[in-house]
Structure formats: C-alpha cells, structure tokens
Amino acid sequence: MSREFKRTDRISEQLQKELARIIQFEIKDPRLGMVTVNDVQISRDLSFANVYITVLGKDSAEEAKEDLGVLNRAAGFLRREIGKSIKLRIVPQLKFDYDSSLVHGRKLSSLIEEAVAADKSRTDLTDPEGPKNDTAED
C-alpha cells in the first residue's frame, strides 16, 4: 500500500532542501551563524511559508534574534533564488522563526536521565543484598 503525500508536503520538503543549500552557500553575511533549517510549513494556497531554524550554539529565540533578523531581511533574495531553482507558479513569501523543539527535547532527555539515575541509586540504597542479578544459578 503506497502512502500518498499532499503537494504542499512535497513542496515544503523541497523548499527545506533548497533553503538549507542557499543559506549555506549563497548568503555571505558575517553576522549569520551556522543555521539549520528544521522544517518548512507552507500554506495551502502556497503563498506563505514559515521556515523553522536553529542556530548552532544558540538555545533561545532571544539569542538567535540577530540571525533571524538577517534571514528575514534576506527573504526577498532567498525567494528569488528559490524561484530560479524550483519551478513554481507562486514562490511563497518566507518568514523565519526559531525552532525551540530541539532545546526542549534535550531538557526532557536530561530530566529523564536524572530521574533514572536517582531511581537506581535509591533502589541500590534500600536493597540490603545490593543490586539483583537476573541470571538463575543452579
């Protein structure tokens, strides 16, 4: 059974690839850090696209504010370059936003690791025989 994709999903994926390439190789602004394009969500009529990015070493939208400003000011240039590389009737207007999901994921992961370590140390302290070995001895 084949999975069907909507046209907007295919265009979003292609936009993500092209934007990552153009930002890396074409934009020469020294204020711009190492940008990763995480996702592109495009409107149903293909006229607007929200581009979600992260910047290496910057863990909040406040820290990445300058990078977002550079990209939002370069949106016209990026749109023109996309129009050259992708054949679309309408090239969407681009708006760049910071994607904080990776930061939240790292925080949750560290909380889980801390809880597991605390649980293990509490179990080791309360068990007088020490840690149990699951192998049966005959």
Answer yes or no: is 128 within a domain. Answer: no
Whether 86 maps to a domain, the answer reads yes
- Residue 120, in any domain of the structure: no
Classify residue 45: in a domain, yes or no.
yes
User: What is the residue range of 67's domain?
Assistant: 7-99
Nearest one of 54, 66, 3, 72 to 30, comparing CA atoms: 66
Decide if 48 is inside a domain: yes
Instruction: Judge whether 29 lies within some domain.
Output: yes
CA-closest candidate to residue 50, choices 75, 84, 85, 82: 75
Number of structural domains found in the chain: 1
pLDDT score for 62: 86
**Residue 26 within a domain:** yes
Q: How would residue 1 be classed by pLDDT, with cut points 50, 70 and 90? A: very low
123 found inside a domain = no
pLDDT digits (tens, 9 = 90+) for 19-75: 999 999 999 889 888 999 999 999 999 999 999 999 988 888 888 899 999 999 999
CATH code of the domain containing 85 = 3.30.300.20
